[in-house]
Amino acid sequence: MSALEFDSVSVRYGKLTAVDGVSLTVPSGQVVGLVGESGSGKSTLARAAAGLAPVSAGRVLLDGVDVRRLPRRRPLQMVFQDPYSSLDPRMAIGESITEAMPPGPSRAERRAEVARLLELVHLDPDRAAALPGRLSGGQRQRVALARALAGRPKVLIADEITSALDVSVQGAVLNLVRDVQRRLALSMLFISHNLAVVRYVSDVVAVMYLGRIVEAGPAEQVLTDPRHPYTRDLLAAAPSAHRGLLDDAGTGTDALADTEPADPHHPPPGCRYHPRCPIGPLVHPDRTVCVTADPAGSAGARPHRAACHFAA
């Protein structure tokens, strides 16, 4: 087991700061659910950990070692959102899994390992010779998971891995991910826009908005007693118990303020959420501190490290 730590990480693309000073720890053997709207910076943070996005400031540490100093086959693997583009359509799934394995084992040992991994993700080992085009979306995502596990990771990053799947198979894939994480004692960063999904798999929940973490803490505490208004708005927009855990019908932003998120190229001063906040200056004009002072600097002193002046 290993711990993954983001230490004041920023990722910039020209004038756009996609991730802004994020500090977050994925404890050894635990699942941290990272949630937020599209464009909040969740996937960029994950790609920075995997070496696929430039770290402009700060460090990403794996067991205290900067990931940029790790060998090319680092003990950190990522499963991507789209199961249709994450596999080479011209390569048999057994070959794709074999390609991710560390060098050394014989051909027979590699075949046996492919069979073991396919069984681990609940696929028939006889499918090793099949091309991805012969598989469903859920089966392809299982292959992508097996391919990530072939690299023998200590940390696994799952980036919106159920959002491109039919609702009927999302639950099965989530059950598989949770089972594999527990059986292999992996540390995992699980990214989703759906708080109901995050609640199902996570030990810790972190909420991201416009490139920053605005609330983080034990999953049950954050989701039953949220302190940041953005977290409360996300919960209000999440599926209800009547619609079901994985029903995407309620994952829109209808419960959020009508205003769109601010332009990430020009984030608002003070609290970044104040132009949409239901307890901010739009509703309470006397709360000018939301416009003039950034609450992130004192977040550590508030419950759940909430970046809100009125979190308590």
Two tokens at 277? Answer: 């906040």
pLDDT digits (tens, 9 = 90+) for 51-69: 899 999 999 999 999 988 8
> Could you tell me the domains of the chain?
4-75+153-224 (3.40.50.300)
Give the separation between CA 117 and CA 151, rounded to whole angstroms.
11
What is the sign of the dihedral through the CA atoms of 264, 270, 274 and 275? negative
Give the separation between CA 6 and CA 226, rounded to whole angstroms.
23
* Strand order across the 65-66 sheet: 16-26, 4-13, 57-62, 65-66
Give the separation between CA 302 and CA 1, rounded to whole angstroms.
30
pLDDT digits (tens, 9 = 90+) for 238-253: 765 434 444 444 433 3
pLDDT digits (tens, 9 = 90+) for 263-279: 888 899 999 999 999 99
